[in-house]
Amino acid sequence: MRIVAAVVAILLSLPALAQEASPPLPRPKPLVEENGPVVPLPRLRPAKEAPAAAAETAKEVYGPPKPEPQKPPAPPRVYQTACPAVLLGRVEAKALPPIRDGQCGTQSPLSVTGVLANGRMVPVSGGVETDCGMASALPGWIESVDSYILSREDTRIAEVVVGTSYMCRRVNGGSDGNLSFHAFADALDVVGFKLEDGRMVSVAGGWSDALSPEGRLLRFAHGSACAHFTTVLGPEANAEHQDHLHVDLGCHGKTCTARLCE
C-alpha cells in the first residue's frame, strides 16, 4: 500500500513540475549571419552623359555629322472652281493656272477652243482665255447666230474668230481710268465668223453695208449678243469698236441687271 500511495503522489506532482519547467523560446534569427560573408550592396548606375559630351563622343567615333538635305518649300495650294459648262460638254476648254498680274487676273481661267452649237462643236480661233461666266454664255449666242445663217443662206458657222480675250489694260486702252473687263478675263472681242461655204464675214469689212448678207448677219449677231451678255459694243458705239463686237458680263446699274447694248 505504501508503494501505491508513493506512485500516486508522484503522478499528481508531474503537472505542476511541467508548468514550472516550460521549454525555452527559440532564439531570433540574426539579420546578418554571425561571422558569415557580408553581401555587398549594388553599385549605383552612372549618370547619363550630357548631350554635348555624347555629341563629342559620337563625333570621335563616327566623324562629324552630315548636314541634313534641305527640303524645298512646298508650293502654295491652288484653289480653283470647276466650270459647269465644261463639265456638261457645252464648251471645249481646259483649265489654266490662276492669272495674277497686279490688279488684273482671275482665279479660275479657261482656255476655250470650241463651243457647242446645234449639236456640233464649233471651233474658236486661237484658244480664248476667259472665265467660266463668259464660257457659259458663248454657246447660246453662237447657236443663235448659227441657226440664223443656216435658215437664211443654208450654210453654217465653221469658226468663231476672236481678237482680244484676256488682256491687262484699261478701258479703250487708255493710260488712266477704270480697268477693262478684259483685265479680268470677262470680255471678248469677236472680229467675225468663218462660214462653211468658205466666206469670211468680218466686222471691219461687212458692217458698213447693212443690206448685204454679211451686214445682216453681223447685225443679227450684235442684237442676239445683247440677250446673252450685259455689255455689247459694235462699230456704232465708238471708233474703238469699228472692227469687232465687244461682249462682256460687266455690272451695270445698282443691281447689276442693266444692259449696255450699242
Residue-level pLDDT at 182 = 93
Task: Cell 548631350: give the residue.
Answer: 51
Task: Cell 498680274: give the residue.
Answer: 101
Residue-level pLDDT at 53 = 63
Residue-level pLDDT at 129 = 95
Please give the Cα distance from 200 to 204 (Å, whole number). Answer: 11
Show me where the domains of the chain are located. Answer: 84-261
Please give the Cα distance from 229 to 250 (Å, whole number). Answer: 8
**What is 20-76 written as a DSSP string?**
HSPPPPPPPPPSS-TT-PPPPPPPPPPPPPPHHHHHHHHHHHH-SPPPPPPPPPPPP
Cα 85 from chain centroid (whole Å) = 19
Angle at which helix 213-225 crosses helix 132-153, to 10 degrees, equals 150
Residue-level pLDDT at 208 = 95
Please give the Cα distance from 185 to 187 (Å, whole number). Answer: 6
Task: Print pLDDT tens along the chain (262 aa).
Answer: 566 555 555 555 555 544 555 556 666 555 555 555 666 666 766 655 556 666 666 666 666 777 788 888 888 787 889 999 999 999 999 999 999 999 999 999 999 999 999 999 999 997 799 999 999 999 999 999 999 999 999 999 999 999 999 999 888 666 677 899 999 999 999 999 999 999 999 999 999 999 999 999 999 999 999 999 999 999 999 999 999 999 999 888 888 888 999 9
**What is 124-159 written as a DSSP string?**
EEEEEEE-HHHHHHHHHHHHHHHHHHHHHHS--EEE
Query: What is the end-to-end Cα distance of the chain in Å, rounded?
Result: 165
Please give the Cα distance from 147 to 221 (Å, whole number). Answer: 11
Residue-level pLDDT at 69 = 82
Q: Are 230 and 248 in contact (CB under 8 A)?
A: yes
Residue-level pLDDT at 125 = 92
Please give the Cα distance from 177 to 74 (Å, whole number). Answer: 39
Cα 162 from chain centroid (whole Å) = 30
